[in-house]
Structure 1
Amino acid sequence: MSAANLPSSRLVSLDALRGFDMLWIVGADAFAAAFRQFEPGPVQAFLVRQFDHPAWAGFTFYDLIFPLFLFMMGTAIPFSLDKIIQNGGRADAVKRILRRSLLLYVLGVIYYGGLSSGWDEVRWVGVLQRLAICYLAASMLYLFVRPRGQVIACAALLLGYWALLTFVPVPDIAPGDYSRGQNLANWIDANYLPGKVWYGDYDPEGLLSTLPAVASCLFGVFAGRWLRQAPPQYTPANRALVLALGGVALIAIGGLWAFQFPIVKRIWTSSYALVAGGGSAILLGLFYYLIDVRGWKKWAHPFVWIGTNALTIYLLSRFIDFGDLSARLIGGPLSGGLNAILPGLGALAECMLGIALCVAICRFLYRHKVFIRL
């Protein structure tokens, strides 16, 4: 890893959206815990539901967080790789891709405990590991396959995954069953995934479900290429509108497909990839329009601080319990007093303080022009 000055050519909206997403990665569980303490009612039930994953099929706001990060990783690929190719050629780009993917994968293994519990408990798949694999695949496709071929590859990944789960029978189970433990993706994880399997019988970042996750990253590649290489007759505002309309189309297609192939994050069904990709495109279009087109940047500064050091705060949140730290600062009588005013208010205040501590660290790094990246 290295520390470097922030390139002036960065897409500010992409940094802001990355920070917005990372804020929920770090704080969503704490928000959910606080909301559960609120007085029961329709609003409380809605908030609790949106900050938790469905038991199996379905889609909530919490389900958008991980694929949004994959989407943004893909969006950055045309911007970063084109610059590397221009300065050092395709060979340099390949070296950068391989080095970054390997480091990200190794960090992922360390994040989940590394070798601390022995070889049998190493988690070889996980969030950072999936990011590494998807980045590697999407970047290589961007370098060596024409745009039309990339679209075909994306469609093949989604359709091929659907075909595998729909028509390949699982031992003792009829094909076309997508429920937990009754599908090909879960069966492969239970029988062939080495090391620690997160839920025992399957892993949400398992082997086969990585295929449609690569497609999620490719959706971001398409968005990045559109923002970078759209025909000159498309104004920046038009580009944002096309992104949003494309997102609506992806959601519609995914929603229709869900009648046959349910939306399930835990096995990353193709319908889920489409719906999440659509939501990601809409958010990118909105952030791009507000920040880069209209120039409204002040409101997004905290998100930019986080987004330019997203990996740093993600790793810190693993080794520093910001929730425990905030509880030590305002917990006990103060938090109890707030809860007496409104049930859950104390827990929400602790959650907000934990988020504020993360923002403060990122602001410090940003102000001192320290950007730690792979």
Structure 2
Amino acid sequence: MVTAPQRFLSLDVFRGLTVAAMILVNNPGSWDYVYPPLAHAKWHGCTPTDLVFPFFLFAVGNAMSFAMKKYEAAGNTAVIRKILTRTILIFVIGLLLNWFPFVKWTDGALTFKPLSSLRILGVLPRIALCYGAAALIIHYLKDKGAFVAAGVLLFVYWFLLLACGTGDPYSLEGYAGLPLDKLILGENHMYRGEGVPFDPEGLLSTLPAICNVIFGYLAGRFIQEQGKTYEMLARLLIMGCVMIFAALCWDMVFPINKKIWTSSYVLYTVGLALLLLSVIMYIIEFRGVTKGSAFFTAFGKNPLFIYILAGVVVKLYAVIRPTPDQNLYSWIYENIFRPIGGNMNGSLLFAVFHVCVFAAIGWWMDKKKIYVRV
């Protein structure tokens, strides 16, 4: 635990807003009652919820633009060791979080969750892989080389889907990454949210996701180099608009799709991230309006730690049973929030309540100058 370095307040707010949104969309009171904007697109397309994860990867890149300066000063060997150590640490934490709480209810009794069915990938493992790959690319190729590498990755991914896919290469059945994940990971270690073994954080779709981190890094570098000027802000806005326009054009032949993380989806989400970041910077850095920012900086100062803590707490709900046939998660929704707001609003209130709880924890940690670097 160390004291946080000086940083742009707007970047902390952007990062904190993203973490708060991740907790909000991951924890409805009931998955049967979720407002459409708070649910993922069924396949092609993009909802506000589909922006949350790529925005977080973009924020990882922002933070990297500050950290890499310190890493580089330590020498090549130290940089590689630091990158690999952090990558492995986040990946292992992700695996443990997938396995946590290590037990489950079976026929009225708690039994250990077998490693034979442990999901290997997921949000944290993808963050780890994208961080590690992006950091190495940036370290060896520097800024311009990293920009070129990101472009190459986006087009290579498109080529791989067309060359290796079957039937409709952008469908679940024809997606080239599906057989690759089955071969390397095994069906028992894959997510089944589509009703069949399919991992939206799969190996092949990690390639374009790396670009979200690279573009976030380049945006962070640009902001630092240009300083707080209206020219910098205008160029951020223009680049965001250009990327969104390019994404919508590409969407006509390569659909925007989060679940297979298409290249058009990368450009679209990076473009929107640039626009949102520009608005936040204008309000905070240029207009000096900071009222309410503390709520989001509470998340932004300890982003990964609070996200992991939220995952741990909510997973514990599943093994605590106030009644023989109901876990704590559903009990809280059914007995507290549903009576207050009904099905839909009660489900939303459940999620908002948890956002506020973890905001309070983050605020306390920031007040005590406690910053956990994962």
TM-score (norm 1): 0.85
Change (3 A) 1:328 1:181: closer
Alignment-derived partner of residue 23 in structure 1: 20
Alignment-derived partner of residue 103 in structure 1: 89
Alignment-derived partner of residue 180 in structure 2: 188
Q: Are the counterparts in 2 of residues 326 and 351 from structure 1 also a CA contact under 8 Å?
A: no
Question: Could you tell me how far apart the structure 2 residues matched to 1:355 and 1:100 are?
Answer: 26
Pairwise CA distance, 1:31: 5.4
Alignment-derived partner of residue 284 in structure 1: 277
3-state secondary structure, aligned to 2:99 = coil
Alignment-derived partner of residue 70 in structure 1: 57
Change (3 A) 1:155 1:24: same
Question: Could you tell me how far apart the structure 2 residues matched to 1:292 and 1:221 are?
Answer: 19
Alignment-derived partner of residue 223 in structure 2: 227
Are positions 1:305 and 2:298 aligned together?
Answer: yes
For 2:175, the aligned partner's letter is N
For 1:259, the aligned partner's letter is M
Q: Are the counterparts in 2 of residues 85 and 93 from structure 1 also a CA contact under 8 Å?
A: yes
Q: Are the counterparts in 2 of residues 57 and 262 from structure 1 also a CA contact under 8 Å?
A: yes
Q: Are the counterparts in 2 of residues 181 and 202 from structure 1 also a CA contact under 8 Å?
A: no
Deviations 1:38-91 (A, max 9, x none): xxxxxxxxxx221111111111111100000111111122211113333x3343
Deviations 1:90-112 (A, max 9, x none): 43322221211111111011110
Question: Could you tell me how far apart the structure 2 residues matched to 1:302 and 1:103 are?
Answer: 28
Alignment-derived partner of residue 158 in structure 1: 154
Q: Are the counterparts in 1 of residues 9 and 284 from structure 2 also a CA contact under 8 Å?
A: yes
Structure 2 alignment gaps of length 5 or more: 103-111, 318-326
Deviations 1:304-324 (A, max 9, x none): 011111122211212213998
Question: Could you tell me how far apart the structure 1 residues matched to 2:331 and 2:41 are?
Answer: 32
Structure 1 alignment gaps of length 5 or more: 38-47
Alignment-derived partner of residue 332 in structure 1: 335
Bigger shift: residues 280-289 or 97-106: 280-289
For 2:51, the aligned partner's letter is L
Matches within 5 A, 1:342-357: 344-357=344-357
Matches within 5 A, 1:95-174: 95-113=81-99, 117-168=113-164, 170=165, 173-174=166-167
3-state secondary structure, aligned to 2:189 = coil
Deviations 1:264-317 (A, max 9, x none): 111111111111111111112222222233322222111001111112221121
Change (3 A) 1:117 1:326: closer
Change (3 A) 1:325 1:352: farther
For these two proteins, the number of residue pairs brought into alignment is: 350
Question: Could you tell me how far apart the structure 1 residues matched to 2:189 and 2:145 are?
Answer: 36
Question: Could you tell me how far apart the structure 1 residues matched to 2:115 and 2:348 are?
Answer: 39
Bigger shift: residues 324-333 or 239-248: 324-333
Q: Are the counterparts in 2 of residues 35 and 348 from structure 1 also a CA contact under 8 Å?
A: no
Change (3 A) 1:36 1:132: same
Pairwise CA distance, 1:328: 7.2
Tell me the C-alpha RMSD between the 2 structures: 2.6
Deviations 1:321-359 (A, max 9, x none): 3998798789737852554xxx74444443332222111
Q: Are the counterparts in 2 of residues 98 and 136 from structure 1 also a CA contact under 8 Å?
A: yes
For 1:91, the aligned partner's letter is T
Question: Could you tell me how far apart the structure 2 residues matched to 1:50 and 1:120 are?
Answer: 35
Alignment-derived partner of residue 178 in structure 1: 170
Residue of 259, 267, 276 corresponding to 1:266: 259
Alignment-derived partner of residue 41 in structure 1: none
Bigger shift: residues 114-123 or 206-215: 114-123
Question: Could you tell me how far apart the structure 1 residues matched to 2:69 and 2:146 are?
Answer: 16
3-state secondary structure, aligned to 1:332 = helix
Question: Could you tell me how far apart the structure 2 residues matched to 1:360 and 1:77 are?
Answer: 26
Q: Are the counterparts in 2 of residues 265 and 272 from structure 1 also a CA contact under 8 Å?
A: yes
Residue of 233, 243, 254 corresponding to 1:250: 243
Deviations 1:179-227 (A, max 9, x none): 1121211222233324511124321011111110111111111101111
Change (3 A) 1:289 1:327: farther
Q: Are the counterparts in 1 of residues 333 and 347 from structure 2 also a CA contact under 8 Å?
A: no
The percentage of aligned residue pairs carrying the same residue is: 30
